[in-house]
Structure 1
Amino acid sequence: MATGRITKRSVDAIPLPVIGARSYLWDETLKGFGVMVTHKAARSYLVQYRIGGRGAPTRRYTIGQHGSPWTAERARERAEELLEQIRRKIDPVEADRAMLAAAGTAKALDAAQQHIAARLGFSTFATRYVEKYAQIEQPRSWKETDGIIARDLKPAFGETPLTEITDADIAERLDEIGERSRSAALKAYKTLRSIFNYACDKERRHLPPSRSPMLGIKPPSKAGKRERTLSDAELRLVWMAAGGLGWPFGPIVRLLILTGQRRDEVAGMAWGELDKDKRQWLLPGERSKNGYPNLVPLAPSALVALTDLPVIKSKAGLLFTTTGETAVSGFSKVKARLDATILELIRKEAREAGQSEAEIEKLAVAPWTLHDLRRTLATGCQRLGFATEITEAVINHVSGTRAGIVGVYQTYRYEAEKRSALEAWARHVMAVVEGELGGSNVLPIGKRA
């Protein structure tokens, strides 16, 4: 048995054996490390070992063929690692088999996940639900169902597999829809419940009924006209609580208070829409709910909310984005944080005012939505003496007074009056926040029954 120091020169010098035979060179310093040569001049590094004493069978593990990347030096390093592994009673051949088996299992799992994603992606499955179920079982209403899915559900869930959509995801989406319309939120809830019931019936292997995220989610409040506006004391608390949110949601909430525009319109604001020199924001029609652009004059306090914002790289030039691709979302969580902070403020001020702990424990935040801030501004401007048509122009609301006015004329109509209204409203808000209007700063927004 030939032995010697395994180097590139010694490996290249090993003579070729006769046809069908093999030659070996075993390293004289690292026991078990060797080189095998075939009659076709293939040279391979290997480790020869035995686990379990003299009676155990001898096994060989091939490190790799001589050449790049397996030089003599690298092969020696690998041999040392393997021999240490063998010393710890770990068989490298069995370890490789286990690794291959695990890789096969992972590949199978990956294939299964791809199958689930392709079959149970929300948008794909929702389309199948409409075609295979709604059109058959809901002949009179399936078009409305399809519209609800297209407008309110597909944009939110995309191709997220049904198995990965959680109750928290659904609750958040229903809250977001509810900001626009309680009726729409209720319809979305019923549609989601039907989709998941259908999925639990047809895809039991992947989504048994016990795993439906709709379990335990209560339907939103019944449809009805919303008339909620915030009192001055409530508005002050919301403003203060927004200050604790930080970027990006703190400035968004304060801009909702000061401009009266819709939540998604503010959240989707782009740098190109702002003209700080002229102190105005031009909301484009393609981003407004009614399709009409709106020129929004910016009061000094609104400009302050837009000062020193971080600039995130974004193709759309978005002010409020964490991804650089889309505007921020997740407002149901933001609303929960606002309510929690408001309750802390109420209780803190109640204690400072000397209220008893028993009374303080009863304090709670009465239900309100971010959309109520828009209605609060409209009502507040009218209370400050501005005409209905001015208020409607401010909030870009189309009704009998403006329904026939479109295009550029509508966009710039009442520009001076809108500025006067928004600046007066901003002064009112800041006076409320700074406690200049008198009255108690401590306000029980609500009490638990």
Structure 2
Amino acid sequence: MAVKLTLQSVKTAEAKPARYIVWDTATKGFGLRVNVDGSKTYILKYAFEGRQKWHTIGKHGSPWTPETARKEALDVLGLVRSGIDPADAARERKAAGVTVSDLCDQYLAAARAGRTLTKFDVPKKASTLATDEGRIRRHIKPLLGKKLVRKLTGKDVEDFLHAVAAGKTAVDEKTGKHGRAIVEGGKGTATRTVGLLGGILTFAMKEGLRSDNPVKGVQRFKDGKNTRFLSGQELERLGGAFEASHADWDQFEAMHADWIAAGRKGASPRPPDAASPTALAAIKLLLFTGARRSEILGLEWAHVDLDRGYLHLPDSKTGAKDIPLGEPAVDLLRAVPRLNGSPFVFPATRGDGSYKGLPKAWAKLYARAGLTKTRIHDLRHSFASVGASTGSSLLMIGFLLGHKDPKTTQRYAHVAHDPAKAAAENVARSIVAQMKRSGAE
């Protein structure tokens, strides 16, 4: 269909079951796309370097009329005749004033909407987004925020890496009445933040704000992520702390029962300053399964299959997963009381939701065990290291932990070698003993 596009011809173009184009007879390639819903958009079809391309001018209505849209089409065709691809020109105009700070905001908005995926092809979790927001706010925006995205260079990224590593963004400040934010920087933080910056700039490429990623080619520090795990002696001390904490609560419950039986006479017994029974059970389950903290604290009874010995999680950091349960984990879960009205295995002590007090409880427990520099996540590493030291393959350990990337499990490879080393030592000692016996004879 071809007519000269005027206000009247545009007005009379009616919607049909399929969208169609009304071509303008006055300007080649200029047309009006009429959509199924009745909306109308001015477009231009042109050829550049032998390839057919499309340029969207805009929807009919202010500022676009047949005349203003035709003028825009002629301007675009002028660029084509000058050897300039209008698509490239549009990208440059779009990117002209966008700063790194603007880009970070766009990236976070897209991530919250589920438009950016992780390497596991799933949207980022709220906890991951919170970490990203912190790195953007504390490191990227202060050092790179004012720079234009299109002018960012590999040298800028390299300078940023070393500035964060040197502690240039370190801060210790109050956050509210009782809170405090301590940001130290360092090589690990620098490497991980540059990794995030690389993802943000890949997003910029998809949005047409850049044609390349300046993070590529920048040599980062080795990411020495903390892979601390508890030794056999430390696990023994942790077991003692569990027993002592349970004993404190048993004593409190006995005293409380006596107080009730005595008619509530005198001061009521005070709860012990120890990790609560709920926290103790959650921590043990973390240690017995190697699961992530969010997976255990968000665990619902509907996801627990004690007959088959599995946790069937509908969602996790890597998507839906099944966690096999050993007998100690099954026995522990059978002993956990169910709170009426709560779907959670470890419910909150107040209100709805799941238990939130694990960090403080863990601090009490590991201090009681005499452990230092130990995080809750180190229980996951400890589960994996015990598996490796007892002969489980890295493939099996990766399955138990829910790793999708084999490189993640590789950190436990040195532990897996310990049984072989012990076997080699036993053989060598036997040979030496036999040689000595032979010489004596």
TM-score, structure 1 normalization: 0.39
| Higher relative contact order (CA closer than 8 Å, sequence separation 6+) | 1
TM-score, structure 2 normalization: 0.39
Structure exhibiting the larger radius of gyration computed from Cα positions? 1
